[in-house]
Structures are given as C-alpha cells and as structure tokens.
C-alpha cells in the first residue's frame, strides 16, 4: 500500500485526528494528534502492512509552542510496494513534554524512545524502562535542546566526564562574536547564533 493511500486510510480511521499529508522529495508525512499515536502505529502495522519501525526522533522548535515534535518513521516490507515509507509527526508542548510509548506495538521502539528522552527530555508514558541511554543517570540537562550551549553546562557529578563546560574555541559549529560591527541590515553574531553570546550560557 502506498504512503498516500495509508495516510488516507489513517484519516478515515481517526477522523479529525490526522492532518493533511505533505509530500517532499517523494516522502510522505502527516501530523497526528498526540493521544492516538499508539493506536495509529498499531493500525499502520496490523492493517496497512507498515511492519517495520525505522526510527523515532524529535525536533526542538525553540521559541514556538508546541515546542517539540516527535517524528516516527515506518516502512512496509514485503508485498507489491516493498519499502514504502510513511512518517508520522506528533506535536508535544513544553508544559507537558510526554507522549504514549509505542513499545507495545513495536518492541524496537525501546531504545529509540530512551534516546529521545535522554537527548530532548520528552517522556514516553508506559515505557517499561525509561532511563538515560547516553548520558549518566542524574544528569540534569538535555543536550539536543536548542537552548543547550554547544560547549556544555556544568553538573554536580564529581568523577564523571564532562562535568565542566568544554572550552569554546570557535570552530566550525559556533560563530565567534564579530570583532567589527555588523553591516547595515545584518544581524549581529549573537543574534544569529545565541550560543556565541557568553551571557546566554
């Protein structure tokens, strides 16, 4: 079944809970309401043949609300349209940064959900073992949030690596503050790259 057909059936199955399909470079995406993500995943798998969960990731739309977007990548293996992909997106607010776990549908969601929690701070309700997977337990920050500085933040974890900020030497990822005033119409470096402003740390 094509991704376009799958999205149309999702819209029919969950009226008013599934947005309009978006196509980009041959890939299909659709936003679904947060409360149906588990049911929508089960419908994709059991009824529409999207039997492989490829990935779960998250986007931080810092400065906007809902701030977070959890992104699910599904693939249909086997059948006449082998390797057809569909992407579901769920908006999650900063005040209630949680969404239902889909481990009961796709067991492979386990580590994906743990990584999203560890890096972005979005919690997955019903996850049987939601703990950090890359950072150590007790680490108070979420490193992939856009307000997290690239050089890191200090933590009160003596004996652990990265308990102090790394020296910020400029480099390819952070624009150093400009020595000369910006040209007319050009935003200053600290506006274009807030993390280059020491006051933001």
Residue 7 confidence (pLDDT) above 60:
yes
Kindly report which listed range (27-31, 35-39, 129-133, 136-140) carries the lowest average pLDDT score.
136-140
- What is the pTM for the complete model shown? 0.78
Place 172 in a pLDDT band, splitting at 50, 70 and 90: very low
CA distance 84 to 78: 9
**Arithmetic mean of pLDDT over the chain:** 85
Is pLDDT at 178 greater than 80 in this prediction? Answer: no
pLDDT at 110 over 60: yes
- For the cut 90, the answer to whether the pLDDT of residue 26 exceeds it is no
Nearest to 142 by CA among 60, 61, 73: 60
Give the pLDDT of residue 16: 95
What is the pLDDT, as a whole number, of residue 54?
A: 96
Q: pLDDT tens digits, residue range 158-167?
A: 665 555 665 5
Whether 92 and 98 have beta carbons less than 8 Å apart is answered as: yes
Beta bridge partners of 55: 73
Judge whether 68 and 60 are in contact, CB under 8 Å: yes
Looking at the predicted structure, is the pLDDT value of residue 4 above 70? Answer: yes
CB atoms closer than 10 angstroms to residue 3: 24
Q: Domains plus CATH for the chain? A: 3-148 (3.30.460.80)
Where residue 73 falls (left for φ over 0; alpha for ψ -120 to 50; beta otherwise) is beta
Instruction: Kindly state the percentage of the chain with pLDDT values over 70.
Output: 76
């Amino acid at each position: 079944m094509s991704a376009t057909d799958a999205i149309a059936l999702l819209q029919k199955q969950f009226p008013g809970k599934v947005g309009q399909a978006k196509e980009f470079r041959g890939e299909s995406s659709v936003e679904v309401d947060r409360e149906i993500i588990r049911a929508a995943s089960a419908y994709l798998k059991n009824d529409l043949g999207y039997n492989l969960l490829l990935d779960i990731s998250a986007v931080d739309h810092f400065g906007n609300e809902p701030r977070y977007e959890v992104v699910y990548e599904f693939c249909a293996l086997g059948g006449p349209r082998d390797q057809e992909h569909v992407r579901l997106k769920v908006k999650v607010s900063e005040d209630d940064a949680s969404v239902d776990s889909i481990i009961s549908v796709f067991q492979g969601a386990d580590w994906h959900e743990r990584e999203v929690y560890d890096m972005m701070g979005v919690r997955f309700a019903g996850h049987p073992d939601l703990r950090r997977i890359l950072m150590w337990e007790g680490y108070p920050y979420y490193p992939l949030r856009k307000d997290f500085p690239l050089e890191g933040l200090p933590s009160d974890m003596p004996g652990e690596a990265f308990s102090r900020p790394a020296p910020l030497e400029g480099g390819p990822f952070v624009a150093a503050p400009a020595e000369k005033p910006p040209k007319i119409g050009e935003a200053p470096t600290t506006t274009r790259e807030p993390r280059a402003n020491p006051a933001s740390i």
